[in-house]
């Protein structure tokens, strides 16, 4: 609910979110179609912002929606569904924080892009905890 993306970003998430260049090609093609409209041209920030939305869409599809939908068919128990919902709420808070601090979002996404072998590090517990200001282990201590 708190994480919305354009249809195009959702479509791009279907065939790989790890390649920022695909976002660039798409946006350049759009600008060519709008040629003569007085469009100022494509900037690196335009590409980064669109790619960020593609990354969000990819995570929502692969780590939230698929496990929730297919997991229910596979016999997930109520606790598992609650875990997926909690993960979705956490991710939503994380994305909202990044959207409100573009410099931080850009740093995280570019760090992940630099290591294409581990593109999913941008959604690691460690990175999310850091952005959300969660102290590792704090939740465990509260449960005691």
Look at the alpha carbons of 103, 104, 105, 110 in this order and tell me if their dihedral is positive or negative: positive
| Per-residue confidence in pLDDT tens, the chain, 144 aa | 344 446 666 676 666 666 788 888 888 887 877 666 556 778 888 888 888 888 888 888 888 887 777 765 555 565 677 888 888 999 999 999 999 999 999 998 888 777 766 677 888 889 999 999 986 654 444 433
Q: What is the pTM of this model?
A: 0.76
Report CA 43 to chain centroid distance, whole Å.
21
| Nearest Cα residue to 50 out of 79, 77, 25 | 25
Helix (H) or strand (E) holding 51: helix 44-59
**For residue 126, what are the contacts with CB-CB under 8 A and spacing of at least 6?**
136
| SS3 at position 106 | helix
Torsion of CA 3, 49, 10, 58, to 10 degrees: -70
- Residue found under tokens 């798409």: 26
> What does the pLDDT read at residue 90?
93
- Using CB atoms within 10 A of its CB, is residue 2 exposed (0-12), middle (13-18) or buried (19+)? exposed
- Residue found under tokens 């195009």: 8
């Amino acid at each position: 609910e708190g994480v919305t993306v354009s249809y195009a970003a959702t479509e791009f998430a279907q065939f790989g979110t790890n390649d920022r260049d695909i976002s660039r090609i798409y946006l350049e093609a759009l600008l060519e179609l709008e040629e003569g409209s007085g469009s100022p041209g494509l900037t690196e920030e335009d590409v980064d912002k669109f790619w960020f939305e593609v990354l969000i869409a990819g995570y929502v599809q692969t780590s939230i929606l698929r496990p929730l939908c297919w997991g229910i068919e596979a016999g997930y128990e109520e606790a598992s569904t609650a875990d997926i919902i909690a993960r979705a709420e956490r991710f939503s808070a994380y994305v909202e924080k990044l959207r409100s601090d573009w410099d931080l979002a850009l740093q995280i996404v570019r760090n992940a892009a630099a290591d294409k072998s581990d593109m999913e590090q941008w959604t690691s517990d460690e990175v999310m905890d850091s952005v959300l200001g969660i102290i590792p282990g704090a939740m465990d201590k509260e449960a005691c």
